[in-house]
Amino acid sequence: MADPEVRREGPSGGPARFFRTTVVGGVVFLIPIVVLLVVIGKAFGLVHKAMAPLARMIPVQTVAGIPTPRLLAVAAIVLFCFLAGLFARTRFAKRLVGWLESALLSNIPGYSFMKSMGESIAGVESAKAHEVVLARIEDAWQIAFLVERIPGGQVAVFVPGAPDPWSGSLYLMTEDRIKHLDVPLSAALKCVKRLGMGSSELVRGGL
């Protein structure tokens, strides 16, 4: 009886596909960084202008060579982010974020994966983060991420491509074909990006 495996996207496809998927992966990786930099830049410009009148009331014009308005702007942004973090802990904020994710953000390709990766890198990996596993594909074991458990003993796993983890393949297989690894998502992604360097440490005791 054939293995209950469904392959949605092949990992191979020649140099053209490798180039295309790598470029797309780079764009996906850079977009949130660029957006963050633009937002911070705009916010800093607005706050800097708002702090200018207050800075003129302070006799000290510079601190360690840094203009006082700039220091006040940075302090205001840090304070705002701290207050936003406190608000994010409230039940209302969690419900709001949950609604945004289910209604809008979940429709963005790769959003949950990017969120899990960001949480792992930041050291706040949640219980819903994709679990790192070894998936048996034919006669080989591959680093993969457990996406979902399916009733009946099946699982959906995502096998990332190397060195571009944003491109890969989705497999449906029986749960006995995966081995769980007690490692963070960020460590697995680092190994994939480095074309397997560090595998011995990553899969220690897993095989």
Region of 4 (left: φ > 0; alpha: ψ -120 to 50; beta: rest) is beta
pLDDT given for residue 106 in this prediction: 58
Residue (of 152, 157, 151, 142) closest to 6 by Cα position: 157
pLDDT given for residue 14 in this prediction: 67
Top pLDDT among 53 and 123 is at: 53
* CATH 2.30.30 fits domain 6-11+127-202: yes
How large is the average pLDDT for residues 196-200? 86
| pLDDT (tens digit per residue) in 107-117 | 555 566 666 65
How large is the average pLDDT for residues 29-38? 75
Residue (of 124, 132, 97) closest to 111 by Cα position: 97
Query: How do the domains of the chain map onto residue ranges?
Result: 6-11+127-202, 17-122
164-192 b/e with 16+ CB inside 10 Å = b? bbbbbbebbbeeebbeebebbbbebbebb
> How far is C-alpha 126 from the chain's CA centre?
12
d(CA 58, CA 70): 13
pLDDT(1) > 50: no
Top pLDDT among 175 and 45 is at: 175
Q: What is the pTM of this model?
A: 0.48
- For residue 131, list its beta bridge partners: 146
Alpha helix (H) residue ranges in the chain: 14-56, 68-88, 91-103, 111-122, 185-193, 199-202
pLDDT given for residue 81 in this prediction: 81
**Contact of 4 with 175, CB cutoff 8 Å:** no
Range from 30-44, 119-133, 139-153 that averages highest in pLDDT: 139-153
d(CA 124, CA 126): 6
Dihedral of CA 97/100/102/104: which sign? negative
pLDDT given for residue 54 in this prediction: 80
How large is the average pLDDT for residues 148-159? 91
pLDDT given for residue 136 in this prediction: 93
| Residue 10 pLDDT level (bands cut at 50, 70, 90) | very low
- In this structure, the number of other CB atoms found within 10 A of the CB of residue 40 comes to 12
pLDDT given for residue 133 in this prediction: 92
Range from 9-18, 33-42, 65-74, 130-139 that averages highest in pLDDT: 130-139
